[in-house]
């Protein structure tokens, strides 16, 4: 269905995984999408695969000027910027006492800073247009659930949820909704190696009541709904797509794996 027909969108982290699944779902729903990612080859492949309504743009979301330029490019290419999805991010697994300042800063710059820049400049462009818009921030169950060895990622994603709330508070009366999606374990190229490890797979599936990882396409479908007028009263909330894992604790990625070994 053409829920997003004629809409112009930016999706960061769009060359693979969840970001690509969201971009694909948006195009299937009628939108045109500027795909942003650091991986130039994967980005070109994704844009080619998605067709004429997809444009790839190499973007480092930790650099504010590059994010601002991407928002402007989407507006110029599509005639409007109606939807922004801030999906780019990564984590670092290390005990808190061993995590380097450099690694901490790198995670915050991309996973938290990139979302801030995306909300800031996406909203600015929408306000300049004088038309409503939707900003979707991709968070994580780790925004609410502490993860062993994941202090940088958990802190960044908790910050993402608060950016979503603050954005909704400040921008809602001006016609811009800011919402979030918090995936749990999702089957993507990034998690493929982990899921192929029997010990790691058992740790993760053991805390998911539905006993399966989510598919990236499920995140894409949720993003289409949130970006559409069907969700026009949803603002400031972050929806978990996790098979129910938030009803239990997060797997112990350090001590749990040691015990399994």
Label residue 105 by pLDDT band (50, 70, 90): very high
Residues 197-236 pLDDT 10s: 888 888 888 889 999 999 999 999 999 999 999 999 999 9
Residues 2-22 pLDDT 10s: 899 999 999 999 999 999 999
Q: Which residue has the higher pLDDT, 259 or 101?
A: 101
Following CA atoms 150, 155, 156, 160 in sequence, which dihedral angle do they give, to the nearest 10 degrees?
130
Label residue 261 by pLDDT band (50, 70, 90): low
Residues 55-75 pLDDT 10s: 999 999 999 999 999 999 999
Mean pLDDT score of the chain: 94
Nearest CA among 123, 216, 220 for reference residue 164: 123
* Count of positions (residues) in the chain: 261
The mean pLDDT of 161-176, rounded to a whole number, is 98
Residues 107-148 pLDDT 10s: 999 999 999 999 999 999 999 999 999 999 999 999 999 999
DSSP H helices, 130-236, are: 151-171, 192-196, 198-205, 216-227
The mean pLDDT of 17-39, rounded to a whole number, is 98
For residue 169, give the 3-state DSSP assignment: helix
Kindly tell me if the per-residue pLDDT of 260 is higher than 80. no
Kindly tell me if the per-residue pLDDT of 257 is higher than 70. no
Percentage of residues of the chain with pLDDT beyond 70: 97
CB 35 within 8 A of CB 16: no
> CA dist 251 to 9, 158, 185, 204, 207, Å?
35, 18, 11, 6, 7
Q: Return the DSSP state at 130.
A: T
> CA dist 106 to 13, 90, 114, 158, 162, Å?
16, 9, 11, 16, 20
Instruction: State the pLDDT at residue 202.
Output: 86
> What is the largest distance, in Å, between two alpha-carbon atoms of the chain?
58
153 is catalytic: yes
Helix, strand, coil percentages for the chain (3-state, nearest 5)? 50, 15, 35
Which domains can be identified in the chain, with CATH numbers? 8-188+214-249 (3.40.50.720)
Among the listed residues 78, 153, 204, 250, the single catalytic one is 153
């Amino acid at each position: 269905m053409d829920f997003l027909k004629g809409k112009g969108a930016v999706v960061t982290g769009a060359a693979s995984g969840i970001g690509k699944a969201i971009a694909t779902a948006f195009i299937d729903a009628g939108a045109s999408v500027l795909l942003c990612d650091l991986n130039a080859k994967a980005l070109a492949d994704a844009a080619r695969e998605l067709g004429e309504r997809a444009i790839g743009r190499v973007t480092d979301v930790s650099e504010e000027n590059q994010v601002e330029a991407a928002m402007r490019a989407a507006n110029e290419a599509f005639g409007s910027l109606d939807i922004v999805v801030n999906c780019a991010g990564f984590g670092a697994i290390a005990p808190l006492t061993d995590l380097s300042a450099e690694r901490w800063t790198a995670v915050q710059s991309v996973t938290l800073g990139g979302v801030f820049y995306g909300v800031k400049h996406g909203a600015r462009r929408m306000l300049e247009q004088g038309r409503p818009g939707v900003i979707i921030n991709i968070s994580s169950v780790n925004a609410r659930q502490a993860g062993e060895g994941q202090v940088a990622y958990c802190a960044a994603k908790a910050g993402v949820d608060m950016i979503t709330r603050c954005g909704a508070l400040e921008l809602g009366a001006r016609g811009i909704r800011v919402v979030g999606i918090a995936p749990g374990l999702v089957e993507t190229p990034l998690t493929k190696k982990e899921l192929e490890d029997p010990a790691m797979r058992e740790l993760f599936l053991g805390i998911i009541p539905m006993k399966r990882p989510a598919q990236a396409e499920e995140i894409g479908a949720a993003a289409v709904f949130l970006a559409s007028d069907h969700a026009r009263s949803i603002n400031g909330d972050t929806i978990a797509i996790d098979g129910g894992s938030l009803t239990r604790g997060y797997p112990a990625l350090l001590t749990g794996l040691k015990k399994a070994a």
